[in-house]
Amino acid sequence: MTVSRIRVGGAAPYDVVVGAGVLGELGGLLGEGVRTVAVVHPVSLPEIARPVHGALESAGYEVVALPVPDGERAKTAEVAAGLWSEFGRHGMTRSDAVVGVGGGATTDLAGFAAATWLRGVKVVQVPTTLLGMVDAAVGGKTGINTPEGKNLVGSFHPPAGVLCDLATLVSVPRDDYVAGLAEVIKGGFIADPEILALIEDDPEGARHPEGRHTRELIERKVRVKADVVGADLRESGLREILNYGHTLAHAIERAEDYRMRHGEAVAIGMVYAAELSRLDGRIGTAIVERTRSILTSVGLPTAYRREAWPELRDHMRLDKKSRGARLRFVVLDDLAKVSPLEDPPEELLEAAYHEIAR
């Protein structure tokens, strides 16, 4: 299989390498001068890190394996502090590097630890899930959670490169893979409608890592994100469009104590954002129904508990996109055309939730 290189621009440009069996590219992404590489990976999945260790050792690096808890349980100040201690114990200097291997939570943590150790060391991300490849590992956003909310503590720290080995997707549990499709579908609604057409052409194939459109879907979504973050690293303008569906999604994740998959929450959040767009007079029913149809066709949820609204509304007050006490949403004006909806009236928020409540 050929190797694709998608360039992410900005002040510190880097490549996202996409292909099968591409671990040999790791040394090129790390660059010269690196001696010690700390490999951060989920504790329950040492097998996903072994090929990375082997590739690094074969290239002459000193490798330090640093297992962390699975999923969102890794994204705490305590776990980050444990990584800093290990970095210090192994004498990691500014010329050394971190490699994050795993899903989005692991790459978020690895990036944050790299961003904060010695005020910033090199990091290369090796996402092994669909969500990680198309979203979390690309863009330089790093972060951990607090009891008050998700990703409230973090840093912008672009990686030296991202390595998407498509061969790893075959072993991803089906529900996790399908959840990652939510971020792919989001890219279709906010920027590249061809993504939607590809999924509608073969929704069953979209559910499989070996589907006939899989590679194109991944590369299209990576390009969407690369174009956005290359122009706006720190979310001062354009990058905000990537938050489509996330305001309610993060509230749902917190209400579920992070037991719901991120992509499942985003799917529900996109339907909510579409309903907000419709009720605010920006779009018609066709786009809302298309949103439900595409998400349902690949097995993603589109509704949430009716009685949860007061709790969700309270959680949204701490959303990162808020400005002071003013809640801020990203909504659609049309396919591939978005804008902010700032401080919407409570009646509008509740009416939109009524449309997705079950």
Residue 238: predicted pLDDT: 77
- The distance in angstroms from the start CA to the end CA of the chain is 45
Tell me: is residue 289 an annotated ligand-binding position.
no
Look at residue 320 in the predicted model and tell me its pLDDT.
53
Of the residues 25, 235, 253, 275, which is catalytic? 235
Task: Indicate left, alpha or beta for 339 from its phi (over 0: left) and psi (-120 to 50: alpha).
Answer: beta
Is 321 in the active site?
no
pLDDT tens digits for 303-317? Answer: 999 999 999 999 998
Query: For the whole model, what pTM was predicted?
Result: 0.93
Q: What pLDDT score does 230 carry?
A: 85
Told to judge if 246 belongs to the known catalytic residues of this protein, a careful annotator would answer yes
pLDDT at 349: 97
Active site residue 122: no
Residues of the chain with pLDDT under 70: 1, 233, 235-236, 319-325
Candidate list 41, 53, 122, 141, residue with the active-site label: 141
Q: What is the pLDDT of residue 231?
A: 83
Residue 75 assigned to a binding site: yes
**How high is the pLDDT of residue 11?**
86
- What domains are there in the chain, each with its CATH number? 4-171 (3.40.50.1970), 174-356 (1.20.1090.10)
Q: Which amino acid is at 61?
A: Y
Q: Is 93 annotated as a binding residue?
A: no
Identified catalytic residue from 25, 183, 219, 253: 183
Give residue 324's pLDDT.
Answer: 57
Q: What is the pLDDT of residue 239?
A: 81
Predicted confidence at residue 358, as pLDDT, reads 78
pLDDT for residue 318: 76
The pLDDT of residue 323: 55
User: How much is the pLDDT for 310?
Assistant: 96
Is position 141 annotated as part of the catalytic site? yes
Question: What's residue 189's pLDDT?
Answer: 98
Predicted local confidence at residue 234, as pLDDT: 73
Write down the catalytic residue from 53, 122, 246, 328: 246
Residue 239 designated active-site: yes
Which of 329, 348, 347 is closest to 339 using CA atoms? 329
- Please give the DSSP secondary-structure letter assigned to residue 260: S
